[in-house]
Each structure stands twice: as C-alpha cells, then as structure tokens.
Amino acid sequence: MVRGRISRLSVRDVRFPTSLGGHGADAMHTDPDYSAAYVVIETDAEDGIKGCGITFTLGKGTEVVVCAVNALAHHVLNKDLKDIVGDFRGFYRQLTSDGQLRWIGPEKGVVHLATAAVLNAVWDLWAKQEGKPVWKLLVDMDPRMLVSCIDFRYITDVLTEEDALEKQMLAQGYPAYTTSCAWLGYSDDTLKQLCAQALKDGWTRFKVKVGADLQDDMRRCQIIRDMIGPEKTLMMDANQRWDVPEAVEWMSKLAKFKPLWIEEPTSPDDILGHATISKALVPLGIGIATGEQCHNRVIFKQLLQAKALQFLQIDSCRLGSVNENLSVLLMAKKFEIPVCPHAGGVGLCELVQHLIIFDYISVSASLENRVCEYVDHLHEHFKYPVMIQRASYMPPKDPGYSTEMKEESVKKHQYPDGEVWKKLLPAQEN
Amino acid sequence: MVRGRISRLSVRDVRFPTSLGGHGADAMHTDPDYSAAYVVIETDAEDGIKGCGITFTLGKGTEVVVCAVNALAHHVLNKDLKDIVGDFRGFYRQLTSDGQLRWIGPEKGVVHLATAAVLNAVWDLWAKQEGKPVWKLLVDMDPRMLVSCIDFRYITDVLTEEDALEKQMLAQGYPAYTTSCAWLGYSDDTLKQLCAQALKDGWTRFKVKVGADLQDDMRRCQIIRDMIGPEKTLMMDANQRWDVPEAVEWMSKLAKFKPLWIEEPTSPDDILGHATISKALVPLGIGIATGEQCHNRVIFKQLLQAKALQFLQIDSCRLGSVNENLSVLLMAKKFEIPVCPHAGGVGLCELVQHLIIFDYISVSASLENRVCEYVDHLHEHFKYPVMIQRASYMPPKDPGYSTEMKEESVKKHQYPDGEVWKKLLPAQEN
C-alpha cells in the first residue's frame, strides 16, 4: 500500500567520462560524457524504501538540470505519496504549470528533463512500495487509474480520456537492437571487431551513425552491410545533422544499403520537415524515426497527425516520465505507428524497458516492426541492470523503475568532486 | 571600430515583485514576478564600455537561467569581440551546438533563454562601441554582413542565404498597442479606470487577457468594447489556456466583440493545432497571433508554412537574440505575414523596438496591420527607457540595445539578497 510523506529530495550531478573512448559520438554530439541528474527521494514511512530517478544528459549542463530539480523540489517535499498518485494528473500539472516556472519551458528543455528526473523517482518509489517493477504496476493498474496519470491538455483533439480507456487492451523478452558497434568516434577496425562480436552474440539488428561525411558513411555502411549480410536489419541515425533537402539527398545515396529507417534526419522540432522527408524516402523503402529529442506530447501528436514518421521513439527522460509517455503510447496506438524507444544513455535502457513491455502487453499487443534500442554501456553502475538474452530485453522482476545506482558509482562519478573527476579535471585543464 | 577581448562576464538574478499588484496575470501565469537574468560583459579595451543583456523570466526559475548563463560563459570569455562579430554565425552555432550542452535544449527552454541573454549583451556591446543604437547598426549594415549573423541551419527549405540577400530592401514612431489595462488580476473597476486613462493618453489599440472563465471574459470584453467604441482595435490573449477544439468554441463566443486577433490560443508547440484554429476563426474575422513562447526559428518556419498564424509575434529574449530574430523577420517577409512583437516583460519593450524599427526600415517597409505591444511597467529601472509618444514607439537614439539597468535597481532587486527581497521573503514565508 502507498504510504509516507516525502521528507527529503536530493539530487546529484553524476558524469561518466565516456568521451575519452569516443563512445556515443555522433554527427552533432562529438564528445559526450554520458551523465545523469540523479534524484533520490525519501519518505517518513520508516520502511527504508527510497525512490531513485534520473534524467540523462551529455556532461556539460548537468549542473543546470540539477539546479532545475532543486527549483521543482518544493512541489514534492512534504507531500503524501498517496495524494500524489491519487491525483497524479493534478500533480503532473502542478510540476509543469507552475505559474512562474513554466515560462522557462514550457514543458521542454531543462525544466522538462528535471520534471522527468523527479517523476521517475516518484514512480520508482511507488512501484517499490507496491513490490512490483514499474511495467507490472502499470499492467496491473485499473484502466481508470492509469488514464488518470495522464495530462490530456493540448492533445484532446486526437485523444480524449474516453478514447484512451477504449484503447486499453490485453495481450501477453522484447526485441532489441544494438547501437554499440558504430559510433562515429570508432575507427573502421573497431567497428569491424565490435560488429563481429555482436553477430556472435546473436544480434540481428544494427544501427550506424551517419551524417558527418558522405564518403565515410558510404564506406562504413558498406562494411557493416557486408558483415551482416542482406537479411539482417540496418538502421541509420543522423542525429539532426541535416536540413530538409539535404536529408533527402544524402539518404537517397545511402538507400542502396537498405536501411530500415533514418533516425533524426533534421531538427526534432520540424514536424513538417519530417513529413516532407518521409514522403520522399518511404518510396525508397526507408522509414523515418524520431523522438529522442522531441520535447513533449504535443510534438508527438503532430508528428502522428502529419504522417511524418514510421517509427516513434519515445524517451523515458525527455518526456515527463511514465505519465507523459503513456499519452504518447496511446496516441501511437491510435495512429498505428510502432513505438521503438530510444535508449542507451545512462539508465535509459533500464527505464524504457518498463514502458515498452507495458506497451506490448497492454497497448500495442504486437511485436511487428517493434524493437527497442540497446547500448552496452554503464549498466554496471546500476543495482538492477537490464538483462539481455538472445538480443531481447528480459522483463525486469525487481520492484521499482530499475534506476537505483550503486552508491559507490555515484560517489566516484559525482561532478566535480568524485574521485574520477578529481583526477581527470586537472589533466583536462592542462 | 570593434575592439577588445571579453575579459569578464557576470550574471545576476533580478526580480521585481509584480505579483503583489496582480500585474501581468493571465490564464496560465497567475502570479508572475517580472524578472530577468541580467548579463554584463566587459572587455580589456579600457574604454569603460560594457555590454548589458537580459532575458525575461517570471520569477521562480531565474536562478536556473543564471546557472545556464554560467554554463555558456566559457564560450564568450577571452574571445576578441572582433572575432565574434566577424563570424557571428559561427559564434552563434558554437553557443547553440555545444556537443554536450545542446542535449538539454536543443535551442529551446532554459539554455536558449540563456543564449539570448548572452547574445543580447554582445549586441549591446557592439552597438555601443559603434556609437549607434542596435536598430541603426542593423540598418546601416552591409547586407552580406547582416546575413552572416544568421544561422540558416534547419530553415534552408524556406529561406537560403541568397534568398535573404534579395529580401533586403530599403524604406523610412512605430505603432504600439497597450496591454496595461486588462490583466486577469485586475478588478472591473481597475480595468475601467485604466482604460479611461489609456484613451485619454491617445491609445487606440487595446489587449485583454481571456481564457480562465467564459462569463468573466464576456463581461470584461463588453466593458472594454463599450468604452473604446466600435472603431478602435481590440486584441485578445489566452496565454495557451485552451485545447484546439476548446479554442475554436470559446472564441466563436467572443467573436461578437470583434477582436483583431486571438493570441496564444493553445500550446506554442502545436503548429497543426494553430492551423486548425486559424482555419475556423479567420472566417469569423479573427486572426491568430502567436510567438512569445515559440522557442526557435524552426517553429516559426512551420507556423508560416502551415498558414497557422496571421500575426507573428517575435520575442527578443526567447529567440537567440538579434541573430535568430533576423531569420524570422526575413521568413515573415517571404510569407507576407506582419510581425507584431511581443513585449512588456522586463526590458522587452526596450529590446524589441530595435528589431521592429529595423524590420520597418529594411525588411517589411510597411506599417499595415503592424503594431508592437507596449506595457507601462518597470521602465524606470533602465538607463535608456523606451519613449512612447502618441501611442507610438519613438526610435531610440542612445548607442546600444537599451537594456542597461540602473545599478541601484539591480542591487535593490537582486534575488534573494537585494533590499526588496530581504524584506519580502520573510513576510512570504509566514
């Protein structure tokens, strides 16, 4: 049973110096240090249960998100968890519609990332108290309760509460793909070696980063397609590098490598641009995927309305936690577009597996064209890391939202005073 | 001549407790404390000239914007001003595309507001060194130089550099409207009194806040329309309160008061929603206006492409300063949509007058359907406050971007340690 009053909220700036190895590099983010604003909330229930929530960042600026979490804290502190989840829509709106704070969003960028971190912690706390993983909490939830978690503001023209209730349906490892082989920062040799290993491990779907240099892309795509053969799936990801005409032109040249999709061909804000690109590339057999930087449900609503994408990539930390992701899953179902989540950053795989398993069991009831990103990075810092078997996510069984970090890891990577950064920072300054 | 290396950047959190008087209240922002993140940059040129830049905020969260300004500071410090303005597009992109920092935007919300504050200071510094107000610096600028300030990334499908050069044209107080009378926080008596005074002062265009309660709106609109008569212009502003169908329904009921436009009928992110509303309301004689919370040029591009608005409201602090506003002015010109800037917040009138005068002289060359918001608040804190005569903005003559604040005012209103807040905060805590 839900219990306790939120008595403490702490937030820490945790950074992993991944840029040192070229991990995670793409056409727009050349030197990411995979990082997180890590929120822990405690209650006065004296059961020792803490809610842990993160939002994913790339290093610099994490301190800004931390600052925003602190700005939101007063909405959470001294609230009964029962009251929060009893009117989760109201609580969500309180966080996102604070009359003063919403100006610096609204519902986007830093404040929305901070909102996600805070709400992710609330969901973790709730699920742990119920003794269930988040996906199971959702699957077991009374549909009315589930729908009451969603703020329908600005989306009622495509999805109403009644509508959402009808969409609730029931059905019964979720397929994954790997992005670990082909970051832009890797040499051809590293790429070949990682690809060979991934094939040995049973992976059948591979994503390659493109967009910085066409000749490089041609060479790298050729290498991968040669290695994986014509049957296995290849996805491409441009990380917003192109303008609209450029995206069409560039991808027309990469079409011969038979990519399933091109991901983030242009600005995540450009709905009509994605629609134009989609119209040009779908006849070449290439779908459009986007979402990891789409900042709220209103953008997803329009991408669906405009037929601007063929694969929808929710992000567990960019949107306002489970609550807002639920609204997007339901809209995707209505428009019959498969959801293929973004993952891979710090804790994103851990979080999003809950959403996608719920989507499969209770919303889409289908695996067709559905696949969830996987990156084999940084899982060792989590208490309940994802389990991948035969290239599939195995449903997590531990209570909560799987993002509790090992205290040891947090301490070591806290920025700028953790052991790792104390060593690295003076070296970087020289 | 441009000179000096940026040797210092400071940023302060300045808040005016406007919520105490109900000033600025609307359907979504019920208790705003008009505030600013106030940036001052200095050079080693030993001429005593400082660049002052602000971004406008509503109180809470200003500390988050301050934190983001500090996160951007290293891109500015130790740069020669000559190098910055010599490759302003490159500098702009450096600020907005930092490989780690862009994740928490990109180009939206907190980081983009911070970018605006920093770049506003750079423009102020540049113009002061040239001994010109910003609008004159722009008007006098060689078109190639002007266009080199704009980042065309993500908008080349509607506007290219060559295109922009062709749009440069030449022509020769700018009309204003007032929002000071009819904030939602005011009683009917206050409204009547302010409206009578404004009529006496020669105002002919009035804006009223709507959206919280239909009966209230009907009564308030009736009062204002009765007072100003059938000929004078009335605008309405819902501040994003409605969903799409609701906006159409609500405004159909307010149509009898003959508003020129309804401003922000729904989420600023909902381009297709604005297009739907526009389609429904234009036949009733009501135009759609939006922009004050449209977070970047990509959103404006789509609003124009989708015929989603009849009046485009740029904001000098929401977009990436002069640079990004230039791109929007040029796109608006291409689509033949009048630009009617948002203003009224701390310093917004001071800033945006430069943009709109430049627009009139060098881009649109027309006053038809064009009008700039004016709110009579907080101008006394600025060294070079706006001059309004006969309900028109008079072109500012002092060098710079008009946002240098009086040091006395900054000190008094600095949050939380200024004299005003030291008195107020303990009282608010009780």
Let me know if B380 is exposed, middle or buried by CB neighbors in 10 A (0-12, 13-18, 19+): exposed
Q: Which residues of B touch A100 (CB under 8 A)?
A: 29, 31-33, 57-61
Q: Which residues of A touch B428 (CB under 8 A)?
A: none
Distance CA B113, CA A255 (A): 39
Provide the chain B residues 252-281 that lie in CB contact (below 8 A) with chain A: 266-273, 276
Distance CA B295, CA B107 (A): 7
- Closest to A110 (Cβ–Cβ): which among B109, B270, B299? B109
Does B98 contact chain A (CB < 8 Å)? Answer: yes
Q: Contact B170/B362 with Cβ under 8 angstroms? A: yes
Q: Which residues of B touch A31 (CB under 8 A)?
A: 99-100
Q: In terms of Cα–Cα distance, which of A320, A8, A374, A382 is closest to A155?
A: A320
pLDDT at A170 over 50: no
Q: In terms of Cα–Cα distance, which of B217, B219, B223 is closest to B236?
A: B217
Per-residue pLDDT band for A29 (boundaries 50, 70, 90) equals confident
Instruction: Read off the pLDDT of each residue in A256-270 and give the average, rounded to a whole number.
Output: 96
Instruction: Give pLDDT tens digits for A234-257.
Output: 999 999 999 999 999 999 999 999
Q: How far is A100 from chain B (nearest CA, A)?
A: 5
Q: Contact B420/B378 with Cβ under 8 angstroms? A: no
- For chain A, what is the mean pLDDT? 92
Assign residue A202 a region: left if phi > 0, alpha if psi is -120 to 50, beta otherwise? left
DSSP state of B129: H
Complex-level ipTM? 0.88
Chain A, chain B: beta-carbon pairs less than 8 Å apart: 206
The answer to whether residue A209 is catalytic is yes
- Model pTM score: 0.90
- Closest to A100 (Cβ–Cβ): which among B61, B270, B305? B61
Does A97 contact chain B (CB < 8 Å)? Answer: yes
Angle at B333 between CA B115 and CA B272, to 5 degrees: 75
Q: Which residues of B touch A104 (CB under 8 A)?
A: 57-58, 61-62, 64-65, 109-110, 113
Q: Which residues of B touch A63 (CB under 8 A)?
A: 67, 71
Does A429 contact chain B (CB < 8 Å)? Answer: no
Distances (CA, A) of B266 to A135, A331, B237, B349: 32, 19, 10, 24
pLDDT at A107 over 50: yes
Q: Contact B22/B3 with Cβ under 8 angstroms? A: no
pLDDT at A173 over 90: no
Dihedral sign from CA coordinates of A105, B313, A267, B321: negative
**Closest Cα in chain B to A107:** B109
Count other C-beta atoms under 10 Å from residue B121's C-beta: 30
DSSP state of A406: P
The answer to whether residue A29 is catalytic is no
Give the start-end residues of each E strand in B320-409.
Answer: 372-374, 388-389, 392-393
Tracing tokens 């709730």 back to the chain, one arrives at: A126
Q: Contact B415/B62 with Cβ under 8 angstroms? A: yes
Q: What one-character-per-residue DSSP string does A263-276 give? A: E--S-TT-HHHHHH
Q: Round the CA-based radius of gyration of chain B to a whole number and report it.
A: 21
Q: Which residues of A touch B112 (CB under 8 A)?
A: 109
Dihedral sign from CA coordinates of B184, B177, B240, B24: negative
Q: Which residues of A touch B155 (CB under 8 A)?
A: 243
SS3 sequence, A107-170? CCHHHHHHHHHHHHHHHHHHHHHHCCEHHHHHHHCCHHHHHCCCCCCCCCCCCCHHHHHHHCCC
Instruction: Read off the pLDDT of each residue in A55-82 and give the average, rounded to a whole number.
Output: 96
Distance CA B334, CA B163 (A): 9
How many Cα atoms are found within 13 Å in the side-chain-facing hemisphere of A244? 25
Q: How far is B64 from chain A (nearest CA, A)?
A: 6
Give the start-end residues of each E strand in A152-229.
Answer: 174-182, 205-209
Does A74 contact chain B (CB < 8 Å)? Answer: no
Instruction: Give pLDDT tens digits for A404-426.
Output: 999 999 999 999 999 999 999 98
- Closest to B59 (Cβ–Cβ): which among A100, A271, A298? A100
Across the interface, whether the CB atoms of B157 and A100 are under 8 A apart is answered no
Tracing tokens 């991944």 back to the chain, one arrives at: A18
Distance CA A49, CA A37 (A): 20
Active-site option among B23, B132, B301, B342:
B342
Active-site option among B75, B128, B136, B209:
B209
Distances (CA, A) of B381 to A298, B37, B49, B236, B347: 38, 14, 19, 28, 9
pLDDT at A172 over 60: no
Provide the chain A residues 147-166 that lie in CB contact (below 8 A) with chain B: 152-157
Residue A366, C-beta contacts closer than 8 angstroms, at least 6 positions apart: A171, A338, A360
Let me know if B329 is exposed, middle or buried by CB neighbors in 10 A (0-12, 13-18, 19+): buried
Largest CA distance in chain A: 61
Residue B418, both tokens: 């200024």
- Give the 3-state secondary structure of residue A251: helix
Per-residue model confidence as pLDDT tens for chain B (430 residues)? 899 999 999 999 999 998 888 777 788 888 889 999 999 999 999 999 999 999 999 999 999 999 999 999 999 999 999 999 999 999 999 999 898 999 999 999 999 999 999 999 999 999 999 999 999 999 888 888 988 999 999 999 988 888 877 655 444 468 888 877 777 778 899 999 999 999 999 999 999 999 999 999 999 999 999 999 999 999 999 999 999 999 999 999 999 999 999 999 999 999 999 999 999 999 999 999 999 999 999 999 999 999 999 999 999 999 999 999 999 999 999 899 999 999 988 999 999 999 999 898 888 888 888 889 998 889 999 999 999 988 889 999 999 999 999 999 999 999 999 999 999 998 877 5
Across the interface, whether the CB atoms of A104 and B28 are under 8 A apart is answered no
Backbone phi, psi, residue A375, to 5°: -130, 130
Beta partners for residue B52, in sequence order? B40
- Closest to B272 (Cβ–Cβ): which among A28, A153, A302? A302
Q: In terms of Cα–Cα distance, which of B137, B97, B153, B126 is closest to B3?
A: B126
Distance CA B338, CA B366 (A): 9
Q: Contact A307/A280 with Cβ under 8 angstroms? A: no
Does A239 contact chain B (CB < 8 Å)? Answer: no
**Closest Cα in chain B to A55:** B104
Residue A341, C-beta contacts closer than 8 angstroms, at least 6 positions apart: A313, A314, A315, A316, A352, A355, A356, A372, A373
Distance CA A136, CA A147 (A): 16
Active-site option among A23, A132, A207, A209:
A209
Instruction: Give pLDDT tens digits for A283-328.
Output: 999 999 999 999 999 999 999 999 999 999 999 999 999 999 999 9
**Closest Cα in chain B to A34:** B100
Across the interface, whether the CB atoms of B100 and A32 are under 8 A apart is answered yes
DSSP state of A101: G
Residue A150, both tokens: 């969603």
Does A428 contact chain B (CB < 8 Å)? Answer: no
Does A430 contact chain B (CB < 8 Å)? Answer: no
Q: In terms of Cα–Cα distance, which of B266, B223, B243 is closest to A153?
A: B243
How many Cα atoms are found within 13 Å in the side-chain-facing hemisphere of B14? 29
Q: In terms of Cα–Cα distance, which of A118, A210, A104, A290 is closest to B317?
A: A104
Count other C-beta atoms under 10 Å from residue B430's C-beta: 4
Across the interface, whether the CB atoms of A243 and B155 are under 8 A apart is answered yes
Q: Contact A208/A236 with Cβ under 8 angstroms? A: yes
Instruction: Give pLDDT tens digits for A272-284.
Output: 999 999 999 999 9
pLDDT at A24 over 90: no
Q: How far is A1 from chain B (nearest CA, A)?
A: 34
Q: Contact B388/B171 with Cβ under 8 angstroms? A: no
Distance CA A409, CA B185 (A): 50
Across the interface, whether the CB atoms of A106 and B293 are under 8 A apart is answered yes
Does A65 contact chain B (CB < 8 Å)? Answer: yes
How many Cα atoms are found within 13 Å in the side-chain-facing hemisphere of B194? 20
Let me know if B379 is exposed, middle or buried by CB neighbors in 10 A (0-12, 13-18, 19+): middle
Q: Contact B84/B323 with Cβ under 8 angstroms? A: no
Instruction: Read off the pLDDT of each residue in A121-133 and give the average, rounded to a whole number.
Output: 95
